[in-house]
Amino acid sequence: MYVCSCFGVTEQQVRQHADAGACTPRQIASACKAGTDCGGCVRRIQALLGRGACPRREASDVNALPLGADAGLADAA
Ligand code: FES
């Protein structure tokens, strides 16, 4: 199924780019131009990325915790 009709980009292609590390619509656009013409597909791309198409998103969220966050909680208890 096509996600971006301007460039003929399919849902599967978006998922492949996400698997290769693209986690934002901008990174998908860099990889295949999807979203860079009329922009009508950007929300669909965001929805695909939000549905777990990007396996690295969870890992980066975990790494976003500040160092020592656990220690701060322990001190407060
Ligand atoms: S449908 Fe993707 S840029 Fe137009």
Q: List pLDDT tens digits, range 43-71.
A: 999 999 987 666 655 555 545 555 554 54
Please report which helix (H) or strand (E) contains residue 64, including its range.
none
Which pLDDT value is given to residue 67? Answer: 54
Average pLDDT score, the chain: 81
- Residue 29 CB less than 6 A away from ligand 1: no
pTM: 0.69
Among 9-18, 22-31, 47-56, the range scoring the smallest mean pLDDT is 47-56
Which pLDDT value is given to residue 51? Answer: 72
Bridge partners of 32?
A: none
Which pLDDT value is given to residue 55? Answer: 62
Name which residue sits closest to atom 1 of ligand 1, judged by CA: 4
Mutate-to-test residue for ligand 1 from 1, 5, 45, highest number of ligand atoms within 8 A of CB: 5
* CA pair distance 29, 47, nearest whole angstrom: 15
* CA pair distance 25, 71, nearest whole angstrom: 36
